[in-house]
Amino acid sequence: MLPDLNRLKVFYHVYTANSIIKAAEALYITQPAVSQQLKKLETEIKAPLFTRRHKKIIPTHAAHRLFTTVKPFLEGLACEIEHISTPMDRPCGPLHIGAPIVFGTTYLPDICHAFRTAYPEVRFTVTFGESDELLERLNMGELDLAMIDYFSPLDQMAGGPEQYSIQALMQEQFILACSRDYYDARVKGDVSLDHLKTLEYLTDENHPTILRHWFWYYFKKSVTDLNIVMAIAAHQALMACIRNGMGVAITSHHLFTRQIDAGEIIPVFPSPRKLVNTISTVSLKGAVPTMTQKVFQTFLEKRFHTDQGETPA
């Protein structure tokens, strides 16, 4: 027979707070009532859950095992009840979205604010990460919608790309850029492969995949022996390194539009061709989206259609 649900709820709060006093306060019941429920639960499952020591409680191995089962059930139940009770005629409730770090930090604060201005009952949880991490979270049900970029290995998606609904959202131009001083001192207008390989490179990747792709795109050659003098985790910091004249790096044109127009940042183009990165929204194919998800997807598409002056390809 299954344990009493109320006792499992008491156990959940005690384990989470690691305190009978705090659990009692959260549940609006007395401390003796909490202790009594725990004792009855221990009797039901025939295992001790906590060891009392110097006014502290220490979870036992049985408590750890029970919590791994109880936690997703109770939290999932609370989430479903919230969805059931939300109105059906307008967007509302939680919306979990994921995006690449640079794209997300650049666009999502304004987008989420504008959406909540129109639909104030919506609450956002935003996760930033690499495309493979976001897809994993999407498959685990932790995200309602993910935004990934062109360099995501679509052929390596779990289950294959046919398992996803993919909608192109916007395009951004990738450039190899440096400061005016660095360009005059080191590049000097020479964009040949041999000369470019002698430059100092900056990257925000553990493995410079996009940088190597840039060389393949323009020269159709695999270049692996670049002089990388700075590997830094945040793109905003990478942009500062570019402005400071530390070297050349891959970045997005729109992040430096003003400085490029002013001649302070110089894009390096071996040919007139432009390397384009496509940001796409991804959701699980076959999953039934909520009204909130559908309205937000439409809102995103209209927002970027207006900003770019054209419908995303």
Q: How confident is the model at residue 160 (pLDDT cuts 50, 70, 90)?
A: low
- 189 token code pair: 């207008």
Q: How confident is the model at residue 1 (pLDDT cuts 50, 70, 90)?
A: low
pLDDT (0 to 100) of residue 308:
54
Mean pLDDT in residue range 44-71: 90
Which one of 3.30.450.20, 3.20.20.70, 2.160.10.10, 1.10.10.10 gives the CATH number of domain 5-85? 1.10.10.10
What type of residue is 60? Answer: T
| Angle formed by the axes of helices 5-17 and 20-27, nearest 10° | 130
Tell me yes or no: is domain 93-169+277-308 CATH 3.40.190.10: yes
* E strand or H helix that includes residue 231: strand 227-231
**CA–CA separation, 158 and 64 (whole Å):** 30
State the burial class of residue 145 (Cβ atoms within 10 Å of its Cβ: 0-12, 13-18, 19+).
buried
Strands 200-203 and 248-252: parallel
Identical topology for domains 93-169+277-308 and 172-276? yes
The per-residue DSSP string of 87-144 comes to: -SSS--EEEEEEE-HHHHHHHHHHHHHHHHHH-TTEEEEEEE--HHHHHHHHHTTS-S
pLDDT (0 to 100) of residue 102:
86
What average pLDDT is seen over the chain? Answer: 88
pLDDT (0 to 100) of residue 310:
41
Q: Which residues pair with 126 in a beta bridge?
A: 97
Which runs of E-coded beta strand occur in 145-222? 145-148, 164-179, 200-203
Q: Which residues pair with 140 in a beta bridge?
A: none
Q: Please determine, for residue 63, whether its predicted confidence score (pLDDT) is greater than 60.
A: yes
pLDDT (0 to 100) of residue 312:
36
Among 20-29, 111-120, 278-287, name the one with the lowest average pLDDT: 278-287
CB atoms < 10 A from the CB of 83, how many? 12
Domain ranges of the chain: 5-85, 93-169+277-308, 172-276
**CA–CA separation, 138 and 284 (whole Å):** 7
Mean pLDDT in residue range 128-149: 88
Q: Please determine, for residue 205, whether its predicted confidence score (pLDDT) is greater than 80.
A: yes
Q: Please determine, for residue 132, whether its predicted confidence score (pLDDT) is greater than 80.
A: yes
Q: Please determine, for residue 39, whether its predicted confidence score (pLDDT) is greater than 50.
A: yes
pLDDT exceeding 90 applies to what percent of the chain? Answer: 60
User: Which residues neighbour 242 within 8 Å (Cβ) at sequence distance 6 or greater?
Assistant: 177, 178, 179, 202, 248, 249, 251, 256, 265
Among 33-47, 96-110, 145-159, 289-303, name the one with the lowest average pLDDT: 145-159
Q: How confident is the model at residue 54 (pLDDT cuts 50, 70, 90)?
A: confident
Task: State which fold the 172-276 domain adopts.
Answer: D-Maltodextrin-Binding Protein; domain 2 (3.40.190)
**CA–CA separation, 207 and 213 (whole Å):** 11
